[in-house]
Chain A
Amino acid sequence: MTPADDATGVPADDAAARRAVIGDSLGVGIATGLYGVSFGAVSVASGLSVLQTCALSLLMFTGASQFALVGVLGAGGAPFAGTATALLLGARNTLYGLRMAPLLGWSGGRRAAAAHILIDESTAMALDRPSRALTRLGFLTTGISVLVLWNLFTLLGALAGTTLGDPRDYGLDAAVGAAFLALVWPRLKEPGNARIGLLAAVLALAVVPFTPAGLPVLLAGGAAVLIGVLTGAGRPSEVRP
């Protein structure tokens, strides 16, 4: 797709379109960033130091992997079992990168920097934009706002520690599922995608009792993609130059 065949007929560099992308992206960034407070609290409660907790948010910067790592450590798992779980979950970012590379069109230092903020949210807010400029805008606005707020609120959560009480009392664990659903929602309307999404969800739940944390998402996601390709689901290829 090029800016010219944007379905709404709005020029891609239109100020209103840019404002809409920035508004949506900041909304995602703020909602996700605030959840960092629960990561900070959970991580310290799992036995990590404040410094270790902040290092994870700053250097790893992929929420599901961070939660998985401290989850394994908190449950008494071996440290490198935690590493393996974090990497398994982090592997989906490789798949996002595969999707985002041609849309962002960056190389060299910019690509190396962009890789750090390549996460669920920045990918979701960059996809389906009518132009490369808006794709980059959604990616950067979401990625940077999540990066800043996630780290800030991780520190706050770690410092507050358990004095805040259980993050679940505030429904923060339910907010994560809702946020991921809102992120995938627009894509479920495309032909065949709802079936693939439902299949992935059911498969993931089916293997939860038999696999260590981290594996269900990868197994179910991989199987659903395979089935989708074999059954011809999904849109015809549409790779922007």
Chain B
Amino acid sequence: MIWWAILAACAGCYALKLAGLAVPASVLARPWVARVADLIPVALLSALVAVQVMAGTDAQGDQVLVVDARLAGLGCAVVLLLARAPFLVVVVGSAALAALLRAL
């Protein structure tokens, strides 16, 4: 049962990827489609950042908002990005700060 769920999800996720790439170019020539496509990574990645940093689960397994070391890690990332640090420094720096705060 778990295997079927895994394989169905894998096939579905690949189909979703291919569907996006297979849309005819003429569709994308429409200005509003281009604008939507331009805004999509901004909106989705920003929402992902927020959820990755502040979403957690409570004892019942329900989703809740959590403030923990991840938020400090994100603050560290913002400072490093403003200082034009390379990608790897940003990622490792944030992880290190979060790990340090948890170890204290």
Helix, strand, loop or mixed for chain B's interface?
helix
What is the 8 Å Cβ interface bit string for chain A, positions 192-218, against chain B (1 contact, 0 not)?
A: 010011111111110011011100110
Query: How far, in whole Å, are A167 and B13 apart by their CA atoms in the complex?
Result: 26
Closest chain B residue to A190, Cβ basis: B42
Q: Is B12 a contact of A90 with CB atoms below 8 Å? A: yes
Query: How far, in whole Å, are A225 and B44 apart by their CA atoms in the complex?
Result: 9
What is the 8 Å Cβ interface bit string for chain A, positions 71-113, against chain B (1 contact, 0 not)?
A: 0010110011011001100111111111111101010000110
Q: Is B49 a contact of A79 with CB atoms below 8 Å? A: no
What is the 8 Å Cβ interface bit string for chain B, positions 80-102, against chain A (1 contact, 0 not)?
A: 01000011101111111111101
User: Is A152's CB within 8 Å of the partner chain B?
Assistant: no
Q: Is A65 a contact of B9 with CB atoms below 8 Å? A: yes
A–B pairs, 10, beta carbons within 8 Å: A62-B17, A73-B2, A82-B9, A97-B20, A97-B21, A99-B37, A115-B17, A174-B74, A176-B52, A201-B47
The interface of chain B, by Cβ under 8 A from chain A, is 1-10, 12-14, 16-23, 25, 28-29, 31-55, 57, 61-65, 69-70, 72-74, 76-78, 81, 86-88, 90-100, 102-103
The interface of chain A, by Cβ under 8 A from chain B, is 24, 27-28, 30-31, 48, 52, 55-56, 59-62, 64-65, 69, 73, 75-76, 79-80, 82-83, 86-87, 90-102, 104, 106, 111-112, 114-116, 118, 120, 123-124, 127, 168-185, 187-188, 193, 196-205, 208-209, 211-213, 216-217, 220-222, 224-225, 228-229, 233-239
